[in-house]
Structure 1
Amino acid sequence: MAEKEIALLKTQIARLDEKKFDLEAWKNHTEIFLERIFGKDSPKLKMIHNLHYDYSSWSLRDTYAGGSTKDKDPVRIQAKEILGAIITELETLGLPRGKQEKLKMKELLDDELTGRQVKEIDTLLSSDDPEKTEKVAKILETIPVENLAATIAKLLTS
C-alpha cells in the first residue's frame, strides 16, 4: 500500500494547525509530495496550487469575526478536505498503477545493481539529459543475462 505517502500527507494536515502557518511554504511542500506521488499533471496538484486567501474586506470580516481564526479559516478547511480525500483514495485504491509498477521494477533492480549504479540511474532519471535512455541501458547491460531474465519474470508474476 502507500503507507509512506499517507504519512507524508498526514504530516501536512497537522502542519495546517501550526500557530505560525505560512500558506505558501505549506503549499510548496505539499506540491512536492503530490508531484512525486501523482505526477506533474495531476489535478490534485492544481487544487493545492490554487489555494489562496481572499483579502476582500467582506470575506475577512465574515471569516474572522470573533473567535479562533484557525477553526474558521476557509483555506485551511479546504486544504484539509483535499488532503483527506487524497488519503482516502490512497487507502482505498493504493498508489496510481504506473507508480506501483515503477516502484516494483526499481525494487527488483536494486537487488541486482550496486549502490553506485542505483544512484547513477536515479540521477539520470531525474535529469533532462537527452541521452538518458542510452546511459541507463548501458548501466543495465552490466547485469548478467540470467539475472535480468529472473528479474523480468519476477516483475511479470508479481
Structure 2
Amino acid sequence: AFEDKPLPVYGDGMQIRDWLFVEDHCRGIRAALDKGREGEIYNIGGNCSLPNIEVVRRILAATGKPESLIRYVTDRPGHDRRYALSSAKLMNEAGWAPKVSFDEGLALTVRWYRENSGWVSRVRSGEYLRFYELNYANR
C-alpha cells in the first residue's frame, strides 16, 4: 500500500482470519511459559476474526490510500475459508488476554513501517540476505 501498487485479494476476499498484534502474541507465549502446565498446548489467538477484504480496506484507510488499489485475483485451490483460534485455555489457566485492538495494532504497525522504511528497503532489495549469507550461511 505504501508504494501505491495493486493489492491482490484472493477470490471474494471473504476468507476469515484471526488477527493478533505481535506484542500480544509475545505476551501470550510468556504467559504460557510462566503459568502454563508443562506438556500442554496453548493456542494464542486475538479473538478478532475479520475477512481478508476488511483487513485490506483498513490497511488502505490507515495508510491513506484509495480502495482502487484492490485487485481481486483468482482464488488459490483449496483456500481455507476460515482460520481462527480459541485462546480460552490460555485465558483460563494463565489469565492472558490480548490487550491491543486490531485497529490500534494496525496503526502501530503502519507507524513502525513508516519509521523503519530504510530497513524495510534493505530487506526487500536483497541487501539483508546477502549480509546474512556472507556472515552466517557457512557456520
Q: TM-score with structure 1 length normalisation?
A: 0.24
Task: Give the structure with the larger strand fraction.
Answer: 2
Task: Give the structure with the larger helix fraction.
Answer: 1
Work out which structure has the larger RCO, using CA pairs closer than 8 Å and 6 or more positions apart in sequence. Answer: 2
Larger CA Rg, structure 1 vs 2: 1
